[in-house]
Amino acid sequence: MSRRRLARSFFDRPAEVVAPELLGRLLVRALPDGSRLSGSIVEAEAYEPGDPASHGFRGPTPRTASMFGPPGRLFVYFTYGNHWMMNAVTREAGVGSAVLIRAVEPREGLDRMAANRGRDAPRDLCSGPGKLTQALAVDASLDGADLTRGREVWLEAGALVAPEHILAGPRVGVSAGVDAAWRFFVRDSPWVSRGRPGPPSRRARPRTQPTR
DNA sequence: CGTTGGATTGGCT
DNA sequence: GCCAATCCAACGC
């Protein structure tokens, strides 16, 4: 379990390569008052250029500018009128590529997270992309923050999750897009989001055979 | 300048 | 499991 930060080179690769390697890493948020909040990443989704489901599909706009910035930065955007989403920017500047952090297992500062969320159940603090930004107090002010050097939010190396403990499935809330299993999550983790149309292998077996 | 719909969530059935 | 809430960026005229 390393507290060393992930380096720029880690992020300078395709999102679908970085996403599964983000599982098990520690997402750390330092608040202005000095308190430290953190959680281990258990679910992440990749977005690449040419993907109709990506906010970067139509090229850079003011809203998505940081997605086209250098790797290792934070890309934060607002959606559904209420929610902030946080992404780690991947690949070189000029390319719209990023990994959406969808869920983390809370580790440090659970009380503060609960206060930020307005609810106590640990399972309900960071089990969704909108939830975890609220718990960690991440909003537009952190858009473009440097995850490799900044003092407000960063990623510690933690421990890679072994491939046999990772499942991949279709992305959540994506109606259009490439036919790729670019949502990665830790198998059997109780901390993943509820938007979990996992792969067939993960689904409960029907108790009765369908008639045919 | 009006319209559209979203990388979601929480509450209710 | 289903659906309304909420609002702003992007797009079309």
Pairing of β A183-186 and β A36-47: antiparallel
How far apart CA A210 and CA A163 sit, in angstroms, is: 33
User: Contact at 8 Å (CB) between A94 and A103?
Assistant: no
Q: Is the CB of A204 under 7 A from strand C?
A: no
Structure confidence by residue, pLDDT tens digits, A10-68? 999 999 999 999 999 999 999 999 999 999 999 999 999 989 899 999 999 999 999 99
Q: Chain B bases under 7 Å from protein CB?
A: 6-10
As a rounded value in angstroms, the CA-to-C1' distance for A61 and C9 is 9
Which has the closest alpha carbon to A183: A129, A117, A138, A105? A129
How far apart CA A178 and CA A190 sit, in angstroms, is: 28
As a rounded value in angstroms, the CA-to-C1' distance for A174 and B7 is 7
How far apart CA A32 and CA A47 sit, in angstroms, is: 31
Which has the closest alpha carbon to A190: A123, A119, A126? A123
pLDDT band at residue A176 using 50, 70 and 90 as cut-offs: low
Residue A124: is its pLDDT beyond 60?
yes
As a rounded value in angstroms, the CA-to-C1' distance for A60 and C12 is 19
What pLDDT shows up at residue A174? 76
Q: Chain C bases under 7 Å from protein CB?
A: 5-11
Domain ranges for chain A:
8-203
What pLDDT shows up at residue A175? 66
Write the single-letter amino acid at A29. Answer: R
Q: Does domain A8-203 have CATH number 3.40.1350.10?
A: no
Q: What protein residues sit with their CB closer than 7 Å to strand B?
A: A 45, 47, 53-56, 67, 79-83, 85, 87, 98, 100, 117, 119, 124, 128-132, 171-175, 193-195
State the nucleotide closest to A126 in CA–C1' terms.
Answer: B9
How far apart CA A13 and CA A148 sit, in angstroms, is: 15
φ and ψ of A41, to 5 deg: -70, 130
